[in-house]
Structures are given as C-alpha cells and as structure tokens.
Copies of this chain bind each other. A is one copy, B any other.
C-alpha cells in the first residue's frame, strides 16, 4: 500500500514477513498460493486456517539459513491472497485450482501451494504435468490416499494421489495407514510405496526414493507424514513417521538429484495455542526454497 507517510510496519500474510521488502508478482521467482480448502477432512476439523497460520509463523523465521550459509529470500518470494470458492461442486473447485496453477506455471513461477486439504494436489499436478513432460510426484504422507472414490466423491482428500497419478508416477514415502481396498489396488497402480515401518530398516531408503523419481519432480507434503511428536496438528495423526532431519535429508537429496518444479504443504489443522507445528511448516517451505534456489541468491 502506498502511503503519503511512512512507518515501521508488518503486513499480515506475507511469507517471511515484511523485512526487508516482499517481492511483487512480476519480479518474484517463487509464488506462494494459499488454498484453504476444507470440505472433506474427517477426524479433526480445521485445515481452513492452515495457510493463514503458516504465513503468520513465517514472519518470525530468520531468513538466513545457517546450514547452507545463504539467504534465499533475495530471489523474490511473492505471496498471493487466499483463494476462495464460490462454486457449487468440488469438480468446479478442482478446475479453478488447475486454472490458477496453470497461470503461475505459464509465467515461469515456482509455485508453493499451502493447503487446505490434500485434494488440492491433483489439479496442481495436472497443471504442472501439462507443462513438464515426464513429471513424477514425490509424496510424503502417512496415508496412501489411493481410494478411487470416498464419501461419494473422487475429489475427497482420501483420493488425492489416485487422482494425481493420472498425470504421472507417484513415489509414496512414510506410508503407515491404508485400507484393504487400497492395498489390493496398489500393485496395479503407477506408484512406488515406501512403508514407514520398512524405511526404519533400510539405511538406503532415501537414495532408493530418489532413484524411483523421473525428472522433473513435484513434491507434495502431507504434514501427517511427519511424526505426530512434531506434527500433532493434523486430522488423523498416525504414530510413526518422519523426523525433521529425515525430512530435510530426503528433500536435499531429491532437490540435488532432480529438478523440482513446484511443491505443496497440506493438511495442517492448527491447534489453538500450539504454534510449533505451524512454525515447522513455515521453516520446511523455506528449507525447500533454500535447497532449490540457495545457490542463486545474491
């Protein structure tokens, strides 16, 4: 906002806060798109405020990354307003998300989608796949999300990856909950599954995950893929899951060996009074950006 006078200020809703100055859309390399869709989540309500709380938390992060010795924010990070959906059907919601994601992709932006429930992933993958031949998807998640339909709709979050693999191969990491139907269907689908229990017994699991990915790669992080110890704020918090440093190691490996073209972080259901999980999501996104663009920063 242009003011005829000035003062030290903080604008709500900018990833990374307002210091020094957030990028405008045209000059930004990275665009944060919040999509607080919350229609089908089952146990604990509340992904609707997820993007909002991630943005609030992000303004309290340091922008310097001590691991890589870089400050990636200089590449330009622009945060868009939250999408709203005055549409009747999930089908139309999915089309609108795909349209907006396509707008970003055609302008050469690196989209970071903030969910909202996992069903938003499929239309974003569709937009990316239309642009990038051979796109594969790296999914970190407790749940396979491979149901063909659930609660009467193919767009339920429990179907998120069944929909996504219409556009490319999916590698699923941290899986520790699925239905008998999904277990039956999985061998016939274009997916590679890394079960959480088995990852614990395979020191090479990260390499094997990256080996399974074609290039380029879309990363979708359902926060319930993480250990509930550090991520209780999600609808169905399954015990087990990735630690913070396992997650970072996986992201570092995937980004260094493949071209990552976009990512999303979904299914954060903030718990009132508990900010640590929200802060973790903000920092996780900044780590992705640092690994992806850190060497480009001035």
Task: Tell me if B60 and A10 are in contact (CB < 8 A).
Answer: no
Task: Tell me if B18 and A4 are in contact (CB < 8 A).
Answer: no
- Report if A112 contacts B (CB, 8 A): no
Q: Which residue of B lies closest to A229 (CB)?
A: B229
Task: Tell me if B92 and A152 are in contact (CB < 8 A).
Answer: yes
Write the A266-283 contact mask toward B (1 if CB under 8 angstroms, else 0): 000001111110011001
Complex CA–CA separation, A275 to B49 (angstroms):
13
Write the A143-166 contact mask toward B (1 if CB under 8 angstroms, else 0): 000000001110000000000000
The interface residues of chain B lying within 8 Å CB-to-CB of A57 are 43
With known contacts A1-B80, A67-B197, A84-B9, A60–B46 Cβ distance under 8 A: no
* Segment among A127-135, A171-179, A256-264 that sits at the interface with chain B: A171-179
- Report if A195 contacts B (CB, 8 A): yes
Complex CA–CA separation, A48 to B235 (angstroms):
13
Q: Which residue of B lies closest to A81 (CB)?
A: B9
- Report if A211 contacts B (CB, 8 A): no
Write the A180-219 contact mask toward B (1 if CB under 8 angstroms, else 0): 1011000000000001010010000000000000000000
Complex CA–CA separation, A197 to B65 (angstroms):
11
With known contacts A2-B25, A66-B176, A236–B60 Cβ distance under 8 A: yes
Q: Which residue of B lies closest to A26 (CB)?
A: B4
Complex CA–CA separation, A179 to B38 (angstroms):
24
Query: Which residues of A in the span 8-52 have a Cβ within 8 Å of any Cβ on B?
Result: 8-13, 18, 24-25, 38-39, 42-46, 48, 52
Q: Which residue of B lies closest to A195 (CB)?
A: B66
With known contacts A86-B151, A228-B280, A71–B275 Cβ distance under 8 A: no
The interface residues of chain B lying within 8 Å CB-to-CB of A89 are 89, 152
* Segment among A118-126, A239-247, A288-296 that sits at the interface with chain B: A239-247
Complex CA–CA separation, A89 to B40 (angstroms):
12
Closest 3 CB pairs of A and B: A272-B272, A45-B45, A272-B273
Pairs A–B under 8 Å by Cβ, sample size 24: A3-B25, A4-B107, A5-B100, A5-B103, A7-B99, A8-B85, A9-B80, A9-B84, A10-B84, A39-B39, A42-B60, A52-B56, A62-B179, A63-B180, A64-B179, A85-B152, A86-B152, A200-B245, A227-B229, A227-B230, A232-B276, A239-B280, A239-B283, A273-B273
